[in-house]
């Protein structure tokens, strides 16, 4: 599939999800058997770990179609970025979606600041540039969208594998926003 076809497939799958018309294809024993020899997911989804955001459902995708990395705040930390690099370099994935979502708790914590302990503070440090860029008093959902956009820039700056694939036209990174209330994904 081309990058354009992949983006359309994601859009169409999300439309089915929003309209409660999931096809649920490629989710059976035959599909599991088919994939025992390897995988070739067409898209990488860097999503928040929030239990209300399930990329495979939101895009009506089957087993082996999406390479999903979930981490609070959908941040490109070293581990999540390494996973993305693996999918780009070894699995041939062509589209990376950075999927922020409505009412993100990690973004809310970054906006509120304070001492959340070493590990959470470290995670939130990846979100604070979006807090600053959105400006004081910005709505949480505006910071979420800014965080998704800045994560794209961060991936390009911190990963030569991703940057080279994007610059050669083999991969496209798309920031997106998941609406909890409707299930709709808006590509930003």
Residue 98 — φ and ψ, nearest 5°?
-95, 105
Query: Taking a C-beta distance cutoff of 8 angstroms, is the pair 178, 100 a contact?
Result: yes
Range of the domain at 164: 3-187
Residues (pLDDT < 50) of the chain are: none
Q: What is the CATH number of the domain that holds 102?
A: 3.40.1050.10
Give the chain's domain count.
Answer: 1
Q: How much is the pLDDT for 9?
A: 98
pTM of the model: 0.96
Percent of the chain with pLDDT over 90: 100
Q: How far apart are the first and last CA of the chain?
A: 22
Which residues lie below 8 Å from residue 103, measured CB to CB, with a gap of 6+? Answer: 140, 141, 180
pLDDT digit string, tens, across residues 25-42: 999 999 999 999 999 999
């Amino acid at each position: 599939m081309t990058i354009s076809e992949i983006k359309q497939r994601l859009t169409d799958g999300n439309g089915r999800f929003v309209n409660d018309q999931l096809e649920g294809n490629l989710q059976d024993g035959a599909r599991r058997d088919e994939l025992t020899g390897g995988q070739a997911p067409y898209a990488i989804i860097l999503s928040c770990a929030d239990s209300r955001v399930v990329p495979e459902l939101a895009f009506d995708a089957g087993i082996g179609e999406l390479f999903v990395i979930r981490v609070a705040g959908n941040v490109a930390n070293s581990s999540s970025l390494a996973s993305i690099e693996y999918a780009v370099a070894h699995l041939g994935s062509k589209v990376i979606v950075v999927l922020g979502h409505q009412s993100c708790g990690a973004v809310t914590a970054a906006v509120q600041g304070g001492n959340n302990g070493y590990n959470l503070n470290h995670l939130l440090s990846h979100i604070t540039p979006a807090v600053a860029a959105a400006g004081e008093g910005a709505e949480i959902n505006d910071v979420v969208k800014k965080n998704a956009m800045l994560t794209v820039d961060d991936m390009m700056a911190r990963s030569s594998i991703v940057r080279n694939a994007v610059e050669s036209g083999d991969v496209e990174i798309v920031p997106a926003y998941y609406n909890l209330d409707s299930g709709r994904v808006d590509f930003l």
